[in-house]
C-alpha cells in the first residue's frame, strides 16, 4: 500500500512538531482564539464577547467592541488579576464545563446587567465584577467557591450559588447573605440537575425578575437519585467521587421552583409536578414569568404562566406528540406585543416550524434549529433548508428574511439595529464574525490558528434516502494508485451532525485519509434537520435504521469511487453514540465491517440517563425488549472482528462501567479484544498529550487490524 502519510510530510520527524494531531490537540480542535458568547448593549454602543489571546492560549478573556469605531478592548484578563490556578474550581463549575463541553479556561462565562454596563464572572471560584465603561475589575468578597453569578437587571446586587446555597451580595461588596438555606445536604437551590444540564440544555437554576426584587430558583432534591462512585485507579489513595446519576428507569431528582424576595419572603410555584416532573426552562420578561415543563415520557410540553404573587400557574401552550416533543434552544420568548414564539412539529409537512401566537410563520421544508431572540416583533432564528447548512433568518411583519448566504453554518444575536453574525464556511477555514451596526460593518478578529491541513471533501447524497455523506481521499491520491482501506467515521445519532458545510469539520478526517484511508462520514436517520419523521425513525430501535444507513452510505460511496475503495478492508470508529455504533457495526455486521474502535461507548442503555434514553427507547420496565435489542453486551458472543474499546475512567456521562461490562462479557464469551483505559480523562479528551496520541494509536490499530491476512 502506498504511504500517503510520508508523501504529505506528516510522518517525518521535522514535520511532527507541527503535525495536525499536535496542532489540533494544542488548539483544542481550533476552538481557542475564536470569539464567542456575544451580547449587545440595549443602546447598541458596545458588544461584549469572550476570546483567548491566541490560538494556543487556553485562558479566556472578556472583551468589548465599540460599535461606532469597531475598536476592540480587553476588559478582563485573568493573567492580570493574580488569581490561583484552575485546580480550585468548585465541583459545580467542573460539572458545568463538562456538560457544556467547555475546553478552555479563564473567564468561560459571564452575565451582565440590563444596560450592559457591568459584567460578573468567576475565576478559581472567586467573584469578580467588571465595569465595561472603564475596564475596572474588582473582586467581591463573596463566599467561595462561587458558581453562576448573575447581576440583577439594575446592577445593584449579584445572585450566586455557593455550597448548594443561593446567595446575594451587593455590587459594592457589602451584605453577603444566604437567600435561602437548603434543608439537607441532598438539596440545592439555584443549580441545574444533571439531566437538565446534560440533556435539556438548561445550565442555570435561578432567574431574576425584571425589577430585580425577586429570584426564581430551582430547588433540587437528589435524595431519591441512586449514587454512583467514580474512582481513579491510578491514584488509589484518592477517595472515589460520588455522583447522583439517574440511569434509565431509576428515580430522577425532584425539582420544584420557588420565588424568593430579596428582602425576605418565599412563594412556592404550584403545578402538577407528579405529572410534569421535568423543568425544561424558565423565562421572565416584562410580560411576566413563564416556565416550561414535561412529563417523564416527554410526549407533552407545557408552557405555564406563573403568578409571582401566589405561585399559581395557568396554561399558555400545550404541545403534544405521540412519540416525543422536542426541546428547541431559545424558547420560550415573546414578542413586544406579548405573543408567544414557539416551534411546533408540522407532521403533515414533515417540518419543524416557527409559530407566533400559535400560527406558523415559516414555510414547509424550512427546519427550525434554534430561536436566538426577539427584538421588538422581529424574531431571529436559525434554520436549515438543506441539512448540511444552517442559516440565520429574521421574521417580522413583512415576512421571513434570510440574513446569511453561501454554504456554511451560521448563528448570531441582535439588538435594535445591530446584529452579530458568526459563520463557518465550506470554502475557507475558521470562524468569521462581523458586527453589523448602523455605523457600518466591523469584523471581530478570530485569533484561532489555521490548520496545517486543507481538507478536500466531497459531499454526496447517497442511497434512496439521500443520506448526506462526506468522502475524503488522501491528498495526492489518483485513480491507479491502488485501492484503499475504508474508514467509516460516524456519530450517527440524535442531536448531532457530522456532515456539515464547514471546512474545519473535515480537518481530522482529512488527516486520517492522508494516513492511507478512504474516509466516509454519513448522517443517517435520527440525526437533525431532516424533519420529524426522519428523527423519529429511531424510536424504539437505534440499531437497525442507524446501521442500515451507514452501510448504504458506504456501498454508494464505494460505487462512486470504485478505484479507491477496498470493501474487503473496512474499519469504523466513533465516540459516545458513535462509539456504540462502531461496536454495533463489528458485532452485527462483520461481513461489512472488519475492525472497530469504540470510544466511550454506551454498551448498555440501562446505564445511561433517564431523559435521553427514555425519549428514544421508552422506560426499561415497560419496553425491556428495546434495551436488550440495543445492548452491545447482549451481542458480545457475536464478536468476530478486532475491536478496541477506549474509555476515560473519570467519565461521569458515559461511565467506564459501560466498557468494563462489555469487556467482561467478551471475555466470558472467549472473544479477544483490546481495552484502552484513560486515567483522569472524562467524556472529553482535552488533555493535549492524550488527544494527540489517541489519533496515532487509532491509526496504528486500524492499519494492523485491516492488513491482517
Phi-psi sector, 680: left (phi>0), alpha (psi -120 to 50), beta: left
Whether the predicted pLDDT of 9 surpasses 50: no
Percentage of the chain with pLDDT > 70? 97
Cα within 13 Å of Cα(548), Cβ side? 12
Task: List pLDDT tens digits, range 228-266.
Answer: 999 989 999 999 999 999 999 999 999 999 999 999 999
Please, which pLDDT band fits residue 98 given cuts at 50, 70 and 90? confident
Coarse DSSP helix, strand, coil percentages of the chain, rounded to the nearest 5 percent: 20, 35, 45
Residue 692 has what pLDDT?
87
Whether the predicted pLDDT of 7 surpasses 90: no
95 three-state secondary structure? helix
Whether the predicted pLDDT of 537 surpasses 80: yes
- Are the C-beta atoms of residues 185 and 194 closer than 8 Å to each other? no
Q: Which three cell numbers stand for residue 406?
A: 453561501
Residue 684 has what pLDDT?
79
Residue 11 has what pLDDT?
37
List C-alpha distances in Å: 613 to 38, 195, 324, 603, 619. Answer: 33, 11, 12, 13, 8
Whether the predicted pLDDT of 136 surpasses 60: yes
- How far, in Å, CA of 653 to CA of 684, rounded? 10
Phi-psi sector, 242: left (phi>0), alpha (psi -120 to 50), beta: beta
Please, which pLDDT band fits residue 90 given cuts at 50, 70 and 90? confident
Position of cell 444575536? 413
- DSSP-derived letter for residue 327 is P
Once rounded to an integer, what is the mean pLDDT over residues 510-532?
98
Least confident piece of the model among 131-140, 339-348, 454-463, 681-690: 681-690
470 three-state secondary structure? strand
Residue 656 has what pLDDT?
97
Residue 686 has what pLDDT?
66
Please, which pLDDT band fits residue 104 given cuts at 50, 70 and 90? confident
- How far, in Å, CA of 106 to CA of 76, rounded? 10
Instruction: Using DSSP bridges, classify how beta strands 126-131 and 137-140 pair: parallel, antiparallel or unpaired.
Output: antiparallel
- Are the C-beta atoms of residues 241 and 213 closer than 8 Å to each other? no
Residue 407 has what pLDDT?
97
**Higher per-residue pLDDT: 564 or 101:** 564
Once rounded to an integer, what is the mean pLDDT over residues 189-200?
97
Once rounded to an integer, what is the mean pLDDT over residues 52-75?
96
* 470: β partners: 459, 521
Task: List pLDDT tens digits, range 679-698.
Answer: 988 887 767 778 889 999 99
Whether the predicted pLDDT of 358 surpasses 70: yes
Residue 154 has what pLDDT?
97
437: which residues sit within 8 A by CB, 6+ positions away?
44, 67, 68, 417, 418
- Are the C-beta atoms of residues 194 and 246 closer than 8 Å to each other? yes
Instruction: Using DSSP bridges, classify how beta strands 59-66 and 278-285 pair: parallel, antiparallel or unpaired.
Output: unpaired
**Higher per-residue pLDDT: 683 or 405:** 405
- How far, in Å, CA of 291 to CA of 313, rounded? 9
Instruction: Using DSSP bridges, classify how beta strands 391-396 and 46-52 pair: parallel, antiparallel or unpaired.
Output: unpaired
Whether the predicted pLDDT of 3 surpasses 90: no
Residue 56 has what pLDDT?
95
Residue 1 has what pLDDT?
36
341: which residues sit within 8 A by CB, 6+ positions away?
331, 332, 333, 334, 335, 354, 355, 356, 371, 374, 379
Average pLDDT taken over every residue of the chain: 94
Nearest to 523 by CA among 488, 575, 558: 488
Please, which pLDDT band fits residue 709 given cuts at 50, 70 and 90? very low
Residue 101 has what pLDDT?
79
Give residue limits of the domains in the chain.
269-321, 328-399, 458-706
Residue 228 has what pLDDT?
97
308 three-state secondary structure? coil
Task: List pLDDT tens digits, range 302-357.
Answer: 999 999 999 999 999 999 999 999 999 999 999 999 999 999 999 999 999 999 99
Please, which pLDDT band fits residue 102 given cuts at 50, 70 and 90? confident
Q: What is the DSSP string of 121-152?
A: EEETTEEEEEETTT--EEEE-PPSSPEEEEE-
Please, which pLDDT band fits residue 99 given cuts at 50, 70 and 90? confident
Q: 458-706: which CATH architecture?
A: 3-Layer(aba) Sandwich (3.40)
Instruction: Using DSSP bridges, classify how beta strands 484-488 and 518-523 pair: parallel, antiparallel or unpaired.
Output: parallel
Q: Which three cell numbers stand for residue 683?
A: 467524556
Q: How many CB atoms lie within 10 A of CB 679?
A: 12
- How far, in Å, CA of 357 to CA of 166, rounded? 35
Once rounded to an integer, what is the mean pLDDT over residues 474-499?
96
Q: Which three cell numbers stand for residue 608?
A: 445511561
Once rounded to an integer, what is the mean pLDDT over residues 106-133?
96
Task: List pLDDT tens digits, range 592-601.
Answer: 999 999 999 9
Amino acid at each position: 500500500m502506498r504511504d500517503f502519510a510520508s508523501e504529505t510530510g506528516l510522518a517525518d520527524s521535522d514535520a511532527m512538531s507541527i503535525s495536525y494531531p499536535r496542532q489540533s490537540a494544542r488548539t483544542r480542535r481550533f476552538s481557542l482564539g475564536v470569539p464567542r458568547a456575544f451580547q449587545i448593549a440595549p443602546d447598541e454602543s458596545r458588544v461584549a464577547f469572550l476570546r483567548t489571546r491566541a490560538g494556543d492560549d487556553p485562558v479566556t478573556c472578556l472583551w468589548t467592541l465599540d460599535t461606532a469605531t469597531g475598536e476592540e478592548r480587553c476588559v478582563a484578563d485573568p493573567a492580570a488579576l493574580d488569581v490561583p490556578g484552575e485546580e480550585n474550581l468548585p465541583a459545580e463549575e467542573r460539572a458545568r464545563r463538562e456538560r457544556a463541553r467547555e475546553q478552555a479556561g479563564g473567564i468561560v462565562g459571564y452575565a451582565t446587567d440590563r444596560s450592559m454596563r457591568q459584567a460578573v464572572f468567576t475565576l478559581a471560584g472567586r467573584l469578580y465584577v467588571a465595569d465595561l465603561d472603564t475596564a475596572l475589575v474588582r473582586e467581591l468578597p463573596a463566599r467561595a467557591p462561587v458558581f453562576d453569578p448573575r447581576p440583577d437587571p439594575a446592577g445593584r446586587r449579584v445572585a450566586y450559588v455557593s455550597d448548594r446555597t443561593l446567595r446575594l451580595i451587593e455590587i459594592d461588596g457589602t451584605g453577603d447573605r444566604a437567600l435561602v438555606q437548603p434543608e439537607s445536604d441532598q438539596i440545592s437551590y439555584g443549580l441545574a440537575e444533571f439531566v437538565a444540564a446534560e440533556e435539556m440544555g438548561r445550565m442555570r437554576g435561578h432567574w431574576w425578575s425584571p425589577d430585580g426584587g425577586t429570584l426564581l430558583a430551582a430547588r433540587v432534591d437528589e435524595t431519591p437519585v441512586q449514587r454512583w462512585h467514580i474512582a481513579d485507579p491510578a491514584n488509589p489513595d484518592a477517595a472515589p467521587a460520588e455522583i447522583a446519576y439517574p440511569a434509565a428507569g431509576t428515580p430522577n431528582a425532584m425539582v420544584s421552583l420557588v420565588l424568593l424576595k430579596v428582602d425576605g419572603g418565599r412563594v412556592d410555584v404550584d403545578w402538577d409536578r407528579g405529572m410534569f416532573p421535568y423543568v425544561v426552562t424558565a423565562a421572565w420578561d416584562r410580560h411576566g414569568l413563564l416556565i416550561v415543563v414535561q412529563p417523564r415520557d416527554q410526549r407533552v410540553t407545557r408552557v405555564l404562566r406563573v403568578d409571582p404573587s401566589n405561585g399559581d400557574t395557568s396554561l399558555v401552550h400545550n404541545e403534544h406528540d405521540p412519540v416525543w416533543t422536542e426541546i428547541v434552544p431559545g424558547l420560550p420568548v415573546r414578542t413586544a406585543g406579548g405573543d408567544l414564539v414557539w416551534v411546533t412539529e408540522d407532521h403533515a409537512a414533515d417540518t419543524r416550524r416557527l409559530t407566533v401566537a400559535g400560527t406558523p410563520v415559516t414555510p414547509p421544508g424550512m427546519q427550525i434549529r434554534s430561536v436566538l431572540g426577539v427584538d421588538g416583533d422581529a424574531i431571529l432564528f436559525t434554520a436549515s433548508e438543506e441539512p448540511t447548512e444552517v442559516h440565520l433568518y429574521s421574521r417580522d411583519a413583512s415576512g421571513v428574511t434570510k440574513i446569511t448566504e453561501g454554504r456554511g453554518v451560521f448563528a448570531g444575536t441582535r439588538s435594535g439595529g445591530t446584529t452579530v453574525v458568526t459563520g463557518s464556511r465550506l470554502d475557507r477555514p475558521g470562524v468569521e464574525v462581523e458586527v453589523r451596526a448602523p455605523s457600518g460593518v466591523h469584523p471581530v478578529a478570530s485569533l484561532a490558528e489555521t490548520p496545517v491541513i486543507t481538507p478536500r471533501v466531497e459531499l454526496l447524497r447517497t442511497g434512496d434516502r439521500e443520506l448526506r455523506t462526506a468522502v475524503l481521499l488522501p491528498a495526492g491520491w489518483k485513480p491507479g494508485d491502488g485501492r484503499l482501506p475504508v474508514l467509516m467515521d460516524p456519530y450517527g445519532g440524535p442531536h448531532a451532525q457530522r456532515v456539515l458545510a464547514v471546512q474545519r469539520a473535515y480537518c481530522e478526517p482529512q488527516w486520517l485519509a492522508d494516513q492511507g484511508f478512504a474516509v466516509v462520514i454519513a448522517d443517517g436517520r435520527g440525526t437533525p434537520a431532516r424533519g420529524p419523521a426522519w428523527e423519529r425513525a429511531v424510536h424504539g430501535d437505534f440499531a437497525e435504521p442507524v446501521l442500515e444507513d451507514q452501510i448504504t452510505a458506504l456501498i454508494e460511496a464505494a460505487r462512486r469511487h470504485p478505484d479507491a475503495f477496498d470493501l474487503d478492508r473496512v474499519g469504523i470508529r466513533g465516540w459516545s453514540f458513535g462509539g456504540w455504533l462502531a461496536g454495533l457495526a463489528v458485532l452485527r455486521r462483520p461481513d461489512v465491517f472488519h475492525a472497530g474502535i469504540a470510544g466511550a461507548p454506551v454498551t448498555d442503555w440501562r446505564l445511561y440517563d433517564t431523559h435521553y434514553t427514555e425519549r428514544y427507547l421508552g422506560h426499561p420496565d415497560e419496553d425491556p425488549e428495546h434495551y436488550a435489542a440495543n445492548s452491545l453486551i447482549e451481542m458480545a458472543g457475536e464478536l468476530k472482528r478486532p475491536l478496541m474499546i477506549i474509555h476515560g475512567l473519570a467519565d461521569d456521562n458515559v461511565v467506564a462501567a459501560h466498557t468494563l461490562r462489555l469487556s467482561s462479557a467478551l471475555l466470558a464469551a472467549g472473544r479477544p479484544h483490546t481495552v484502552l483505559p484513560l486515567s483522569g480523562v472524562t467524556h472529553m479528551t482535552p488533555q493535549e498529550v492524550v488527544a494527540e496520541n489517541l489519533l496515532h494509536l487509532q491509526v496504528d490499530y486500524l492499519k494492523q487490524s485491516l492488513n491482517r491476512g
